Structure 1
């Protein structure tokens, strides 16, 4: 099923939760809605499911207006973060539930339902759990049952709301790989909500980054990571160091910064702001440089350096502990900062004017790949 969302808005009280959402999802695609709490991703998922209604906009699935359909008419498979299994039912009965409550005219016979449940038990690799109750299952096992119950009705669209949010990291990694295999085997059109970047990029065909009720960027992992479309995306993707620079003849220049590895860009001259990740900052000892190492800590693999500039304040850099230059990076050492990758946004100096479109800065090494 292909999904088209057009101009979708939703307000709760005085809060705009969705602000003109435009999104297309192709048949058989797995799309992640990624963003912090309050970005509107769960509300969008619930509108697609028929659990919320928008104030304006359109929702078409295979050319059909789904805003005219009640939730039960959409044949949606929905997996909640808290599993929402029926505690008084066995795994087998939980899997069968969606089929047994269909209208009588559409309800399969008992033998057909039993066969479908057996098929799911084998497909989900939980045959030995069939007669257990939810309280007798681990979190990962309950999540498999919840997904199986959603798949039992052969949904038009599969929706998952933070499906692994309540699980520990190791189980989440295992289930991510498993869910990707399930998706490929079923070919279902799937949308899932997460605030976990690793989860979104490992699982999804495309990632939709949301912030404050808007879609900030849509794309694949590498494109979003290397070329964030806005300061919001840059910060969300880990570009937590922001440095003032000046653009001149397509080159960026900043106090105590070595930007020589960055490509020349066709940009207007003037002030700008550089967004860079701590791991993309390489401090180099330089007695004449204005930056100094304020503190140095280690987690075994990486050194975390707090860097201080007399006018610009502090920045952080992550350096491999075994790097050849690491020994010289001691507290109070003067350093110049080599920026290996980042994103720059020209600053519009007119009062109230919005910033210009982002301009990705990459090293020549990356460009040559």
Structure 2
């Protein structure tokens, strides 16, 4: 096991930023910490790096207590969102910096440092930039240099804090593919922080969804996307439509709703809430339809359909524009659901608490078993 965190907590005054974090990361794994601002992602990353300290809990790497180590001896590489390159140093000197400031007994000689820098320049495909200053580079080029500096010391764990947050969308997409290639080629255990769902799902072997200082769910990207473990995760991952429904023998039922495509759920009968993405809703014209179309807006490939229910419920559905020619403003419709997730209504007296796939307070053995 590369890294194991147990019952980690961090408070700033009366504010609990991390609330009992348990996480196990395998050797050579790439893990994304995904969540909204304020969920504790960056604080957790800083504690791993030694830039912050927990109030309680443990952090071990290969069964060694890393909380007993000083930051400069933790063998981590850290890449910041805003690069943090030294403006007065050329690219090659920025990459070499971590090697040149190592304690004398561990510091490579000048020839070894030069060889390592040249190796990374070639590996990161920035050989032609070696003698430029940061001000002469694009954002994407600066981030490659920052990664090169983090990799120069051959860290056991690479930490990235919103590494593409300062870049435009196209550059971010290009660098995501490139970073995945770098990770596989270098074999470094990598943990990165992001609030971008697409970024996390494209890059990571496993995704850790965080909210309010807790781990809400851990799993492979497709597992989390298809099976959110809590209403929080469902909302964060784009289930923007919430409907009151009834569960009967594991089936979702509601007037004006065709939910036959949804699988049975092992949940008790009674009130529940159905969480849907707009793209998973198909309006079907019906004279006795419960919902009425109040607006249609084309985005090119898609038609965004605004729907209103007599009780005041409003929602959006998205359907392929070329297949939606029968829809019109003022039309009554039923809703056909293609996919969704359902949770017992917490206001129900018999409702059990929602549980994540791997709960934040699960025993360490259970967390380890969840690894691929």
TM-score (norm 1): 0.94
Alpha-carbon distance in 2 for matches of 1:123, 1:189: 18
Alpha-carbon distance in 1 for matches of 2:244, 2:75: 52
Q: Which SS does the other structure have where 2:295 is aligned?
A: strand
Alpha-carbon distance in 1 for matches of 2:13, 2:36: 21
Alpha-carbon distance in 2 for matches of 1:111, 1:349: 68
Q: Name the structure, 1 or 2, with higher relative contact order (CA <8 Å, separation 6+).
A: 2
Deviation, structure 1 residue 252: 1.5
Unaligned 5+ segments in structure 2 are 358-372
RMSD, aligned CA = 1.5
1:332 aligns with 2:323: no
Q: Which SS does the other structure have where 1:328 is aligned?
A: coil
Cα-to-partner distance string for 1:142-162 (whole Å, 9 max, x where unaligned)? 000000000000111100000
The corresponding residue for 1:201 is: 201
Alpha-carbon distance in 2 for matches of 1:227, 1:176: 25
Deviation, structure 1 residue 354: 5.8
Alpha-carbon distance in 2 for matches of 1:148, 1:356: 43
Deviation, structure 1 residue 262: 2.3
The corresponding residue for 1:255 is: 255
Contact 2:34–2:209 under 8 Å retained in 1:
yes
The corresponding residue for 1:223 is: 223
1:88 aligns with 2:88: yes
The corresponding residue for 1:135 is: 135
TM-score (norm 2): 0.93
Number of aligned residues = 357
Deviation, structure 1 residue 347: 1.9
Alpha-carbon distance in 1 for matches of 2:55, 2:299: 49
In 2 relative to 1, CA 200–51 (structure 1 residues): closer, same or farther, beyond 3 Å? same
The range that moved more, 2-11 or 253-262, is 253-262
Cα-to-partner distance string for 1:139-189 (whole Å, 9 max, x where unaligned)? 000000000000000111100000000001111111111111111111001
Alpha-carbon distance in 1 for matches of 2:274, 2:292: 19
Give the ranges of 4+ consecutive aligned residues of structure 1 lying more than 3 Å apart after TM superposition.
348-359
In 2 relative to 1, CA 308–85 (structure 1 residues): closer, same or farther, beyond 3 Å? same
The corresponding residue for 1:287 is: 287
1:233 aligns with 2:227: no
In 2 relative to 1, CA 67–352 (structure 1 residues): closer, same or farther, beyond 3 Å? farther
The corresponding residue for 1:367 is: none
Match runs of 1:290-301 below 5 Å = 290-301=290-301
Deviation, structure 1 residue 268: 1.6
Q: Which SS does the other structure have where 1:114 is aligned?
A: helix
1:342 aligns with 2:336: no
Cα-to-partner distance string for 1:177-202 (whole Å, 9 max, x where unaligned)? 11111111110010000111111111
The range that moved more, 307-316 or 255-264, is 255-264
The corresponding residue for 1:169 is: 169
In 2 relative to 1, CA 232–22 (structure 1 residues): closer, same or farther, beyond 3 Å? same
Q: Which SS does the other structure have where 2:322 is aligned?
A: coil
1:160 aligns with 2:148: no
Cα-to-partner distance string for 1:89-111 (whole Å, 9 max, x where unaligned)? 00010011001001111111111
The corresponding residue for 1:265 is: 265
Alpha-carbon distance in 2 for matches of 1:295, 1:356: 35
Alpha-carbon distance in 1 for matches of 2:118, 2:249: 68
The range that moved more, 305-314 or 258-267, is 258-267
Contact 2:259–2:336 under 8 Å retained in 1:
yes
Alpha-carbon distance in 2 for matches of 1:31, 1:358: 17
Alpha-carbon distance in 2 for matches of 1:308, 1:358: 32
Q: Which SS does the other structure have where 1:207 is aligned?
A: strand
Alpha-carbon distance in 2 for matches of 1:342, 1:319: 16
The corresponding residue for 2:214 is: 214
